[in-house]
Amino acid sequence: MFVLLYEGLCNEGYILMKIIAGLGNPGQKYDKTKHNTGFMTMDHYLDEKGLSLDKDKFEGLWTKQKINGEDVILLEPQTYMNESGRSVSQVANFFKVDPEDILIIQDDMDMPIGKIRIRANGKSGGHNGIKSIIRDLGTEKFNRLKIGIRHPKNATVVSWVLTPFNDEQQKLMDDAFDTSVKIIDDFIAGRDSQYLMNKYN
């Protein structure tokens, strides 16, 4: 047991494990709304892999799996968006996961609907979920998979992000969800952020 644990350790006592977290708001009221793009992306990935979030702890729904030989935690925080960092940091601290081995899936109003962008680190860009993760992890050095939902044209920001996509928009999002499966698999396989940015941005 000691040998196995020792072999699983990497620099600074971190465990060789990845965390993929999709952000959103829990509850039927928010289901399929634009701000829940992270949840929807994660749900699509789970469906593709025949998996489910079978654990309820650390203020989130999650599962620990071995995917293509790699240990991975798939997580949907249940804290509401603005406190997502509480759940992400609890999981990361418990399993001793390096922030650079975390991928956060988020919506982004500064990009067209369905547009994908990978970032290796950086500020929150005004996204409260990301802001809370930076606060609770104590670093900006974690990966983000950003999916565009664009700014509203004739609506308030709140009403825009808390309503579903129309049929035309949903088709663009479905394409983004399919691409996201490949991105997540590449991230799990150990592809670094520069590789992901070159391939998908």
Residue 14 pLDDT level (bands cut at 50, 70, 90)? confident
Strand segments (E) across 35-113: 55-57, 60-67, 70-77, 102-108
Q: What percent of the chain shows pLDDT beyond 70? A: 94
Confidence (pLDDT) at 198: 97
Domain boundaries, the chain: 16-200
Tell me what the pLDDT averaged over the chain comes to: 93
pLDDT digits (tens, 9 = 90+) for 98-139: 999 999 999 999 999 999 999 999 999 889 999 999 999 999
Mean pLDDT lowest among 123-127, 134-138, 161-165, 181-185 = 123-127
Residues forming a β-bridge with 146:
106, 117
Can you give the pTM of this predicted structure?
0.92
Each residue's pLDDT tens digit, 28-42: 999 999 999 999 999
Query: Mean pLDDT, to the nearest integer, of 11-22?
Result: 84
Listed in sequence order, the DSSP H helices in 50-166 are 84-95, 128-137, 157-161
Residues 6+ apart with CB under 8 A from 37: 24, 105, 106, 107, 147, 149, 173
pLDDT for the residue 7: 42
Catalytic residues: 35
CATH number of the structural domain 16-200: 3.40.50.1470
Mean pLDDT value across residues 33-62: 98
